[in-house]
Amino acid sequence: MCILAACVFLGVLLLLAPSQCLACPFGCECFAITRTVKCVSKDLLVVPQNIPGYTRSVVITGNNIHQVGPDSFTELQNVTNVILSNNRITELASHTFAGLTSLRSLDLSGNQLALIHPEALSIPGSPLQELNLSHSLHNFTALTDLATALRWGGLWGLRRLDLSGNLLALLPPGMFSHIPSLQQLLLRNNSLVAVYAGTFSGMDHLETLDLTHNNFEAFRVDALQELERLGNAQIFLGYNPYTCSCESRDFVTWLNKTRARVDADAVRCASPEALADTRLQGLTVQAIGCVVPVLAEVADLTLQTSYVFLGLVLGFVGMVFLFVLYLNRNGMKKWIIETRDACRDVLEGYHYRYEIDSDPRLGHIAAGGSRSQRHLGKEPSQQLPNDTCIVQASTETQVKPVATSPAVNS
């Protein structure tokens, strides 16, 4: 009834309406003035055929079309825009859009693409300028499929690519290097944690890069070099859970001086608590806890101080020692004299014994003495007064009696 009403309405408006209404596919609405065909939420299972030749825009959304292939779009050389969002499409076959030789904008958002043929996006003449794949990739396999399709698709004219909301955690290196004309790359609302050297290689005309609402905590040096290579592009980095610790130092320095246009006001700390919601740009190294050089200075100072302290302590100990010696000077003198006297007494005693031993006439006395000493198992030195200054003397003196005694006995 509605379609009929629409036809009557159009027929009233346009004299040539009836023939076009008849040409409108089942379940769709055809708008000749705007050259648009809309097939919205009609539970269609396939892309409808017989879309009028005047059509420029095809809007097929909210249906149940699982697979699209080259048969889906034929004789539609005049179509420039195709919106296929939210159709539960899972598979893109080879050369699906090859018949759409004027296609400039393709929207595949909100699907569940699991299988993308390497040449799914190939269109003779490379007319495509805009590709919307937001919320459309089923999993990582689909992403690698897409990377291949971007490589083989001959998308020389593509200027805008929307890959937002795909839970992407990482991007294959050089994924966009075969899209040389790309000006806008939208990667917002994914799960990206890092940019690597080569992630954005070959993108010489990029004007806008949207990395907001991802999982970046900081950008390392190679990531910053990669971003710096984009020249003076507009780079959106806001709404990421940045950690404002010393690890972010390079990032803050880069934000301070880059020639890229960055949404610095939205680049704010998520942690630590003390810096939450603070802008990263303009933070000082002290603020983000980089105290490394300061620490080194302190350590240096500590070392110097400890040397000085050690010197003072040694000096003090030396002075105390000298002072004690000075106080004891009388006792010391006495001790030295006593020791000297003791040594002299002992030496004299030895001298006496030595003379007895070496005197042949008194040999029997010494031999008897040394024999009895040996018999008792005692070393001669043990018989001597226990004083260091005579040990030397005792060994000297003992050698001779032992050497001479047998000679005397035999």
Which residues are near ligand NAG by CB under 6 A?
53, 75, 77-78, 85, 107, 109-110, 114, 132, 134-135, 138-141, 160, 162, 165, 167, 186, 189, 249, 252-253, 256, 282-285
Between 230 and 252, name the residue whose CB sits nearer to ligand NAG. Answer: 252
Between 130 and 222, name the residue whose CB sits nearer to ligand NAG. Answer: 130
* Cβ proximity of 240 and 213 under 8 Å: yes
Find the shortest distance in angstroms from Cβ 77 to ligand NAG.
5
Find the shortest distance in angstroms from Cβ 80 to ligand NAG.
11
Between 140 and 354, name the residue whose CB sits nearer to ligand NAG. Answer: 140
- The alpha-carbon radius of gyration of the chain (Å, integer) is 50
Find the shortest distance in angstroms from Cβ 2 to ligand NAG.
25
Between 289 and 369, name the residue whose CB sits nearer to ligand NAG. Answer: 289
C-alpha to C-alpha distance for 211 and 236, rounded to whole angstroms: 6
C-alpha to C-alpha distance for 337 and 320, rounded to whole angstroms: 24
Between 92 and 384, name the residue whose CB sits nearer to ligand NAG. Answer: 92
* Cβ proximity of 58 and 37 under 8 Å: yes
Find the shortest distance in angstroms from Cβ 258 to ligand NAG.
11
Residue 299 to residues 180, 282, 302, 304: CA-CA distances in angstroms? 53, 28, 5, 9
Find the shortest distance in angstroms from Cβ 187 to ligand NAG.
12
Choose among 54, 64, 114, 104: nearest CA to 84.
Answer: 64
Give the single-character DSSP code of 46. S
Between 146 and 384, name the residue whose CB sits nearer to ligand NAG. Answer: 146
C-alpha to C-alpha distance for 187 and 239, rounded to whole angstroms: 13
C-alpha to C-alpha distance for 263 and 236, rounded to whole angstroms: 5
Find the shortest distance in angstroms from Cβ 69 to ligand NAG.
18
Q: Which residue is nearest to ligand NAG (CB)?
A: 53
